[in-house]
């Protein structure tokens, strides 16, 4: 099935560092979403983006909807141990459509 390209695949960083990850698609989306998944749990929505060029923050998290509508970026500032997990981007053609998920970025934070 179709999946979006996410990079990097994994990151190993020290507590306090900033993190950046991105997601690209060959298709244009109307909505971009970022999720975090902890082991043994379902994905939890972090940020939703609805307009090209939109920049949205949620605490230490900031995400942007790319101007071409084919990409999105997620930044985490001042990482903490509880940021550990797998981060997924997801694209949506319209708000009644299925989600198309990325391949995931696994984040490890060391004290």
Q: Which residues bind another protein (CB under 8 A)?
A: 1, 3-4, 31, 33, 40-45, 48, 88, 90, 92, 95-104
For residue 31, what are its two tokens? 């909505």
Shortest reach from residue 96's CB to another protein, in Å: 4
Burial 76-92, CB ≥16 within 10 A → b, else e: beebeeebebbbbbbbb
Comparison of 2 and 68: residue with beta carbon closer to another protein = 2
Residue 82: phi and psi, rounded to 5, are -75, 0
**Shortest CB 44 distance to another protein, Å:** 7
From 111, 33, 109, 38, select the one nearest 74 (Cα to Cα). Answer: 33
> Least separation, in Å, of the C-beta of 29 and another protein?
12
Considering beta carbons, is residue 31 or 64 the nearer one to another protein? 31
């Amino acid at each position: 099935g179709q999946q979006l390209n996410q990079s990097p695949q994994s990151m190993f960083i020290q507590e306090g560092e900033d993190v950046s990850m991105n997601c690209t698609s060959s298709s244009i989306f109307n909505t971009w979403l970022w999720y975090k998944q902890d082991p043994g749990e379902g994905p939890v929505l972090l940020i939703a983006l609805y307009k090209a060029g939109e920049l949205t923050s949620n605490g230490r998290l900031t995400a942007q909807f790319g101007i071409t509508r084919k990409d999105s970026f997620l930044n985490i500032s001042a990482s903490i141990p509880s940021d550990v997990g797998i981060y997924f981007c997801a694209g949506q053609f319209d708000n009644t459509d299925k989600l198309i998920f990325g391949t995931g970025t696994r984040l490890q934070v060391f004290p």
